[in-house]
Amino acid sequence: MSQLYNSIEPNIIDDEMVQKAIEEQCPEDIGKLAKREGINLKDVTELQLGFRNILQIDNLWQFENLTKLQLDNNIIEKIEALESLVHLVWLDLSFNNIEVIEGLDTLVKLQDLSLYNNRISKIEHMDTLQELQIFSIGKNNLTTLEDVIYLRRFKNLRTLNLTGNPLCHDEQYTLFVVAHLPDLVYLDFKLVSDTTREVAVLKYQDLTEPLEHEEAQALAQLEENQAKQKELEYHKTAFVEYLNGSFLFDSMFAEDTEAAKLAYLPGVGNLLQAYRTEFVSVCENLFNYGLKEYEKREAEVSDFYEGLHEALTANQQEGRKIILDFENRNKRRLDEIHSASSYDIAESKRAEYKEDILQLSEALMTLEMLIADQLEELIKDFKGNIAVIASTFIENVKGMMTQCRDLENRYHEKLLEISITTLEKSVKNQLDEDLPADVRMLLVDKNTIVNAINASHGIRLLKIAKRESDILSNTYRWQASVTEKAFQNEIDRNRDRVREIVQYIDNLQEELDNIEILGPTE
């Protein structure tokens, strides 16, 4: 580094540099104010840090709302410390010493990126920049045309600059780029003509058509995965995720090595299949019931807030009417006080106006008390309805999970019977078929086989209990959350409304107190 920067003093972004940059880019009067009183970095949306010999990017985490950042003409070697700048739309890192594209993952809103004149040899690590529209990576070390194919993932890319890279010397450069980026409007500062586009598409269709097919398949797979994820989130919200199938049943046996061995015993295969069919049926009944109950819960919440909104709207309209009546009655009174012919007349009118203000305050506060009482009753009824919905759901879930336990207990009992019978036959050498060696090890004596079966049974019961507990816990949390939110929203609304009324009355009173009485002119 000493040889590279022997004539340059490398800098790191620090508070002093940032403060100076902000002062320089502000208008003169604002810059002086910023220098004297400081500035909230969260309010800064643009920052110019070019030509400052910056070697390392750092200390930008406080610029939460930055949309434009210039770091051009420095000696930066690595893209880093930008992860907090999630609102960045425009980023200039041109004329630096960057070798690898990295550190951009969180900049999902980025539309304009310049990496012009660096040392980059590969276009990579930009997958999250799906909003990218303008990309300048000219005068770097890109050598292969295939690098351009990476840019096909940016469906909004319209302007690209690659000029000055070794790959530009390829005689097919322009046609290759245009063919593989068919939505490109400008390439290397020039408008892509329709003729060029037609020739490019025709020349490279044997390469682009397979790419398009692969991309279509990938897109279809992505959409399918997103749909599945959305559906899963819906099921989670209903507290019944993974109950629409054999997931719970399979998980009960997944880590149970003893159960796998016991499946080789005569008759256990059929027993297990019958158990699975019945168990999955109960799970699917619970799943379908859960979805219906979720819709019922959502409807109850929606109806409550709709009723709340109607009550508040009627109250607000009444409040506005009261205020409008007051203003209509008193719109000339202030002028009358101001120009009263005598002090006594002015004071009399002032007293009348003050009394009107007092009555207005009482009317508005009374109206607020009425709506507060009305909403309290609505919330009380809502809480009761939610409690009924939750308790009904919980009882039915418990009932269905009891069915699962009953099926497990029945399977366990029959498995014990088969195992002991098989043990007895084994002792007498009366088995009709050979069993694997690890299965025969369980048939040493009654205690061994019974202990293994009981252990497996306990594992499966725990799995059932855990799933039931998860559903009940989620239901209790939902019940508490939805009712507490309703109560807290009303507390906040009431407090804000009272504060609003008090402020309005205080402003009227202040306006009245500040009136100067002119009296008659001579």
Model confidence band, residue 25 (pLDDT cutoffs 50, 70, 90): confident
Angle 124-127-133 (CA atoms, 0-180°, nearest 5)?
95
Distance of alpha carbon 295 from its chain centroid, rounded? 23
Where helices occur in 169-267 by DSSP H, the ranges are: 173-180, 194-203, 205-237, 247-254, 257-262
What is the average pLDDT score of the chain? 91
Model confidence band, residue 517 (pLDDT cutoffs 50, 70, 90): low
Average pLDDT over residues 31-48: 72
DSSP secondary structure string, 63-92? -TT--EEE--SS---S--S-TT-TT--EEE
C-alpha span between 290 and 242 (Å, rounded) = 12
CA R_g for the chain? 38
Output the CA–CA distances (angstroms, integers) from residue 13 to 17, 58, 60, 89, 403, in the order listed. Answer: 6, 5, 8, 21, 65
Residue 58's nearest CA partner among 88, 78, 28 is 78
pLDDT in tens, 429-477: 766 667 777 777 777 788 888 888 898 899 999 999 999 999 999 999 9
Model confidence band, residue 29 (pLDDT cutoffs 50, 70, 90): very low
pLDDT in tens, 73-109: 999 999 999 999 999 999 999 999 999 999 999 999 9
Q: Which residues contact 120 (CB under 8 A, 6 or more apart)?
A: 98, 99, 100, 101, 137, 140, 141, 142
Model confidence band, residue 324 (pLDDT cutoffs 50, 70, 90): very high
Tokens coding 332: 């000339």
Q: What is the pLDDT of residue 241?
A: 96
Measure the CA dihedral 276/282/283/289, to 10°: 160
Tokens coding 381: 């009824």
- Percentage of the chain beyond pLDDT 90 is 73
Q: What is the pLDDT of residue 37?
A: 56
pLDDT in tens, 187-213: 999 999 999 999 999 999 999 999 999
Model confidence band, residue 2 (pLDDT cutoffs 50, 70, 90): very low
Tokens coding 7: 């004539």
C-alpha span between 331 and 443 (Å, rounded) = 100
Distance of alpha carbon 200 from its chain centroid, rounded? 41
What pTM was estimated for this model as a whole?
0.76
Q: What is the pLDDT of residue 6?
A: 52
Q: What is the pLDDT of residue 40?
A: 83
